[in-house]
Amino acid sequence: MGADHTHQAVPSDMTLRVKALESLLVEKGLVDPAALDALVDTYENKVGPRNGAKVVARAWVDPEYKARLLADAPAAIAELGYRPEQGEQMMVLENTPEVHNMVVCTLCSCYPWPVLGLPPVWYKSAPYRSRAVIDPRGVLKEFGLTLPDEVEVRVWDSTAEMRYIVLPERPEGTGGMSEEELQTLVSRDSMVGVAKVDRA
Ligand code: FE
């Protein structure tokens, strides 16, 4: 572990407590593991990333908000009511026709949870964590995203102190859409940088 890259090498006290509680509740028949999985899925895919989608859609429709977001992400994100509880820094990376950003945590699973919720299983997996750095284009291809050679791919390694969120490109042909409609287009994967946003 590098001095400038602090990660949790062992499960945190909170993780262990949650595991212990889950085991006990399942053992006593108080909760169904499938129901817990469904709840976690909700936070991974539905509730969590909706916060990020609101941030992205606002940036697409409001250039001044976008400027604030790129300059000081925590403050701009807090304008919409989402705040990191542990004071971790967040930075927003803008994708353009020339530059594609993607985010990884090579050592564990650091993730901008105030805007994306819980990290998906693949984000925490050893293959993604190692290969995103070694072969980012290959990993993106597996996600179904093939980038032209002239597009520069930048990989950002998250830490406990610095979490990254990708601001994806606004798709062509969405000029007439409202901010609310735009929110529905923004996927979690596009904010991790393993997908583009498609027009619905
Ligand atoms: Fe990490």
Q: What angle do CA 128, 190, 199 make, to 5 degrees?
A: 140
Q: What is the pLDDT of residue 58?
A: 98
Which residue among the candidates 12, 23, 110, 125 is catalytic per the annotation? Answer: 110
Q: State the distance from the centre of ligand 1 to the C-alpha of 158, rounded, in angstroms.
A: 6
Q: What is the pLDDT of residue 4?
A: 47
Report the CATH number that the domain containing residue 99 is assigned in CATH.
3.90.330.10
The verdict on pTM exceeding 0.85 is no
Is 17 inside any structural domain? no
Domain region containing 83 = 32-192
How far is 140 from 31, CA to CA, in rounded Å? 37
In order along the chain (200 residues), what is the average pLDDT of each group of 10 residues?
A: 50 75 82 80 76 97 98 94 80 97 94 89 94 97 96 95 96 95 96 92
Is 5 inside any structural domain? no
Q: What is the pLDDT of residue 27?
A: 83
Residue 110 annotated in active site: yes
Q: State the distance from the centre of ligand 1 to the C-alpha of 176, rounded, in angstroms.
A: 39
Tokens of 47: 């509730």
The DSSP element (H or E) to which 94 belongs, if any, is strand 89-94
Q: What is the pLDDT of residue 17?
A: 82
Which residue among the candidates 23, 109, 178, 190 is catalytic per the annotation? Answer: 109
200 Cβ contact list (under 8 Å, min separation 6): 181, 184, 185
Q: What is the pLDDT of residue 46?
A: 65
Q: Spell out which residues have Cβ within 5 A of ligand 1, the ion.
A: 7, 105, 107-108, 110
Q: What is the pLDDT of residue 181?
A: 96
Is 24 inside any structural domain? no
Residue 130 annotated in active site: no
Is 18 inside any structural domain? no
Instruction: Give me the number of domains the chain comprises.
Output: 1
Residue 178 annotated in active site: no
> 122 - beta bridge partners?
none
